[in-house]
Amino acid sequence: MIDVRRRQIVIGTAAALAQLSFAPRALAQGARLSSVPTVDSLTIRVLTDSSYDTPRIGGSKWVKTKRAGLISPKDVRKTLHNEWGLSLHLESRIGGETRQIMLDFGYTQNALLNNMEIMGVDGTKTQALIVSHGHYDHFGGLLGYLEKFRDKLPADLPMFVGGEDLFCIRKNATGTPGHFADWGVLDRRDLEKHRIRVVSCEQPTVVLGHAFTTGTIARTSFESVLPNTLVEYAKRDGIGCDIPAENAKAQGKPVQDQHIHEHGTCFNVKDRGLVVMSSCGHAGIVNTARQAMEVSGVKKLHAALGGFHLFPAPEDYIKKTIAELKALDPDVIIPMHCSGPTMVLLLRTELADRLIVSSTGTEYVFGG
C-alpha cells in the first residue's frame, strides 16, 4: 500500500530520472474531516468535454439528465465546442442556500466561454474555483475566464489546489531523445494579478460549507499512474514549483509525472451518499473514491464521475478497474474526458444499469 499525505520526490539513482516514486506514509492524524457537509441537491453542468451527443431521453433513476442543444437557441451561428479537456460547473443547495463552484476550465477560453453562454451559466455567480491538477487541458481556460468575469466576482475569491507541484513546469516527449515540448504551466503571477487567493489542500478541505476535497490521494489499489506528461521540479524565470529533488542530479530535469498534487472534489448528497469527481484520475478512480470515503467517513458511494485516464490502458487493466469500482457499489458511473472508449464499452457489458454516457452540454441533478 502506498499512501501519500505530503509531496515527496524520491530520486535515488540516475536510472530513477525517468521514474518518480514516493515513500509510503500513514494517513496523517487529523487528515479526516471532523464533519462533512450534506447537500440537498447537486447540479453538475459539463461545460467542456471531448465529445457531444445529440439529446436523448433516458439515463438513470438516480439522476435527472438534461442535454443542451448543439446550436445556441439565441444565435444559429453558435454551437457547442468540444475539445480535449474538462470543465464542470457545480451548483449545490442546502435548504435555501446555494453555492456555485467552477471545477477546472478546459483547454481554451474560447470553448469555455462559448459553452457557458449556450448553457446559460452566469460566470459572475461563481464563489470558488478548484483546479484538480497541473495539466493545461484543465486550466487552459482559467485566465480567459478571469479576464471576463473577475471584476464581478467576490473580492476574496479562493482557488483550491492540491499542492505546490500543481505549479511545476510540465513537458511532453517528442520522440527525439533529450528533446521535450512545453505543455504549459500555471503562472502564480497571473493569479496574483487577478487577486486570487490560492488555498493549498494537501489535507482534505471543506469548500464553501458544501463540498470537500480529498486531499492528497492515497495510492492503495493496484492502479498506477499511466503514461502522461513529464515534470520539472524547479523554478525558472518566476515560474515553476518550489520542490527540491532529493538527488541534485535530478533537479530541473524532466521526470515522469506522478501527480502527487492531484485531488478529487466531492459532495455528500442527502439520502444518496458521495458524489466523487476525479477530473482526470491520474491517481486512479478507485483510489480517489476510497480516499473520499476514508476522509469523510461516508461509506456509501453514490456516483463516480469525471476523467478516469484509462484511454492509454490495456483492456485487462480496465477490466480490473471496473471490478474494483464495482466492489465499491456506486449507483452511477459517468466516465468523461480521458476515460476512453474501451472503458465505456466494457461498462456497457459489466455495469450497463449504472453507466451514463456523458457529453459536452449535459446537466446532471443529484438529489431533490
What CATH number is attached to the domain comprising 193? Answer: 3.60.15.10
Q: What is the pLDDT of residue 11?
A: 28
Residue 195 lies in a domain: yes
Task: Answer whether residue 118 is part of any domain.
Answer: yes
Beta bridge partners, 198, equal: 159
| Residues near 67 by beta carbon (within 8 Å), at least 6 away in sequence | 53, 54, 55, 56, 359, 361, 362, 363
Range of the domain at 169: 14-26+35-262+363-367
* Structural domain contains residue 166: yes
Strand runs (DSSP E) across 31-78, as ranges? 38-39, 41-48, 63-67
The Cα–Cα gap between 268 and 212 comes to: 9
Instruction: Please give the pLDDT value at position 119.
Output: 96
Residue 237 Rama label (left phi>0; alpha psi -120 to 50; beta): left
Q: Is residue 154 part of a domain?
A: yes
Q: What is the pLDDT of residue 5?
A: 34
Q: From the centroid of its chain, how far is CA 39?
A: 20
H helices of the chain, in order, are 109-119, 136-139, 142-149, 188-193, 285-296, 315-327, 341-350
Which residue carries 466523487 as its cell? 276
Count how many domains the chain has: 1
> In 3-state terms, what secondary structure has residue 357?
coil
What is the distance in angstroms between the CA of the first residue and the CA of the last residue of the chain?
Answer: 38
Tell me, yes or no, whether 311 lies in a domain.
no
225/278 Cα distance (integer angstroms): 14
Is 212 a member of any domain?
Answer: yes
pLDDT at 26: 36
- Whether residue 146 lies inside any domain: the answer is yes
- Read off the pTM: 0.90
At residue 129, the 3 state secondary structure works out as: strand
Contacts of 274 (CB under 8 A, 6+ apart): 266, 267, 268, 289, 292, 293, 296, 298, 300, 301, 302, 303
Q: What is the mean pLDDT, run by run of 10 residues, along the chain of 368 residues?
A: 35 31 37 94 98 72 89 85 97 98 98 97 98 97 98 98 95 87 94 98 98 97 91 89 66 83 98 97 96 98 98 96 98 97 96 94 95
DSSP 302: E
Q: Would you say residue 186 lies in a domain? A: yes
- Host H or E run for residue 71: none
What pLDDT is attached to residue 8? 35
